[in-house]
Structure 1
Amino acid sequence: MTALIVKDFMTIQRQLKSQAIFLSVILIISVFMQQSTILLSFIVFIVTIQAITALTYDELCNWDKYANTLPISTSDIVLSKYLLSIIMMIIGLVIALPFVLLINRFTNHIETTDFFLTFCLIVTAAFCMLAMLLPIYIKFGSIKGRIVLIALCFIPGFLIGFIDGELADFLVTLSKLKDFGYFAPFVGLFILWLSSLISIAIYKHKDF
């Protein structure tokens, strides 16, 4: 599996270089707006979603057809994308946190507890996003996967319309669960693990 992850790193290397310029712009904007959360969110989500980029490149070069002729288990092929995402997230956090702490120190002086809660929620959101995206892209591919994803994005809008009257009560209940937000990343990891099981099952029954 290590070789698969190294292969994906080499695949997305050029993509990361081009996105470094974009992240530099986000850093400048975050400093001027005194919003370190913007920087943290962008870095976490951009580096985490690189697994989707790796899947797209694999599809373009028909990698899966070749990989299935090698002595590699299908579970390793799928899990390598999940591990790539987690590794990239850790790298992104290591890069982002020093800048985020400096911004907090010299700008809005956000409280440590609030920052840690925000940090946990952002990481959890990234886990949940991956848990949804990876099975979709593995099942439908990069082109059809985008169409399915766009269709799914309309679902929250319809749901909000149906529960508009109860939305305020839901937000009040959610605010009372604030203290449990620190455990959210563990819930996100569990959801990501369930997603990996689904992705492995999809991949095993996929025709290449």
Structure 2
Amino acid sequence: MKGLLYKDWCTLTSRYRKNFTLLFVLYVGMAMFFDMPFMLYALVFVLGLYVPSAVGFDEYSHWDVYAHTLPVRHSHIVGSKYILGGCAILFGCVISMLAFAFSAGIIKGTMGYEEALIGTLTAAAVATLYFSLSLPLTYKFGCDRARTVVMSAVLLLVLGGFLLVTWVPQHLLSPEARLKLESWAESVERFFGFRGPASIPDPVTGASVTMDVEYGSVVQWAENPHFWWLIGGLVLFSVVIFLISWGISTAIYQKKQY
């Protein structure tokens, strides 16, 4: 396994050394000097996109034909890509959090470490989910065709989610069911801190005063402990999907003929 990891690492660094250097200089520099923290979140995501390219390099060089003569398991050949991908995303998270310590937003006090941590964890979860989707498709269809398939799959997932949230409640549910769904959605938003309390006690009279407002600040969300459950659940979900994807890719690789 160590040899496979080293081979994939050398392949990527030899091909993308200049890209990596430009990536770090550009993304970290823009985040630190131009107060653009989202560039550090993008860095976490982009680093995870490079690893599937190792499958393409193996495909173009017909390395898998040689790999089948080696005393290594198929799960190890596939696993090296997943371990390297996980390390790349984790490395991006570490770099992101270190860079935030010197960013303009942290220094000026316009953002806090909680916001940086939330954004970094979310970016890592999204990168892991995308990686988990792209790698089995890359093994199944090949590197070139997989790009089109992955983008189509992402588009269908986004479109399906949009229709599920907007079109289905408006056209397939009765007015009573829509009201119940909206009430449930507001309760969920309030539970996770996206919406303020429905009412608060008046400081003078003690009577209940209606106050149903939406919170739009990440700082306000972070003050709700339940919001961290949501972030933790998203990260845990991405890890589970990552492991399932590993098993699927191994099964696909074992059935392929080289």
Q: TM-score, normalised by structure 2?
A: 0.71
8 Å Cα contact 1:131-1:195 kept in structure 2: yes
Helix, strand or coil at the partner of 1:109: coil
Worse overlay, 188-197 or 90-99: 90-99
The one-letter code sitting in structure 2 at the alignment partner of 1:146 is: R
Structure 1: tracts of 5 or more residues without a match: none
Max radius of gyration: which structure? Answer: 2
C-alpha offsets along residues 70-129 of structure 1, whole Å, 9 cap, x if unaligned? 111000001110001112223223333221222132245323333322222111111111
Are 1:72 and 2:90 counterparts? Answer: no
Say which structure, 1 or 2, has more relative contact order (CA 8 Å, 6+ apart): 1
CA distance in 1, matches of 2:54, 2:138: 11
Report which of the two has the higher share of helix: 1
8 Å Cα contact 1:74-1:204 kept in structure 2: yes
Are 1:207 and 2:257 counterparts? Answer: yes
Worse overlay, 161-170 or 142-151: 161-170
CA distance in 2, matches of 1:67, 1:147: 27
Write out the 4+ residue segments of structure 1 that deviate beyond 3 Å after TM superposition: 165-177
CA distance in 2, matches of 1:51, 1:175: 39
Change (3 A) 1:50 1:175: farther
Worse overlay, 141-150 or 154-163: 154-163
Aligned to 2:213: none
Aligned to 1:180: 229
C-alpha offsets along residues 34-86 of structure 1, whole Å, 9 cap, x if unaligned? 232x2322221222222211111111101111111111100000111000111
How many residue pairs were aligned?
A: 207
Helix, strand or coil at the partner of 2:101: helix
C-alpha offsets along residues 137-156 of structure 1, whole Å, 9 cap, x if unaligned? 11111111112112213313
Structure 2: tracts of 5 or more residues without a match: 171-180, 193-226
Deviation at 1:193, TM superposition (A): 0.5
CA distance in 2, matches of 1:62, 1:125: 31
CA distance in 1, matches of 2:10, 2:111: 38
Structure 2 matches for 1:45-64, cutoff 5 A? 45-64=45-64
Aligned to 1:23: 24
The one-letter code sitting in structure 1 at the alignment partner of 2:134 is: L
Aligned to 2:122: 121
8 Å Cα contact 2:137-2:149 kept in structure 1: yes
8 Å Cα contact 1:39-1:96 kept in structure 2: no
CA distance in 2, matches of 1:95, 1:121: 15
Alignment equivalent of 2:240, drawn from 163, 176, 190: 190
CA distance in 2, matches of 1:3, 1:171: 50
Helix, strand or coil at the partner of 1:102: coil
Deviation at 1:157, TM superposition (A): 4.6
Q: TM-score, normalised by structure 1?
A: 0.87
The one-letter code sitting in structure 2 at the alignment partner of 1:148 is: V
The one-letter code sitting in structure 2 at the alignment partner of 1:164 is: T
C-alpha offsets along residues 156-200 of structure 1, whole Å, 9 cap, x if unaligned? 353214532559959754674423134132221111001111111
Helix, strand or coil at the partner of 2:257: coil
Identity score, percent = 22
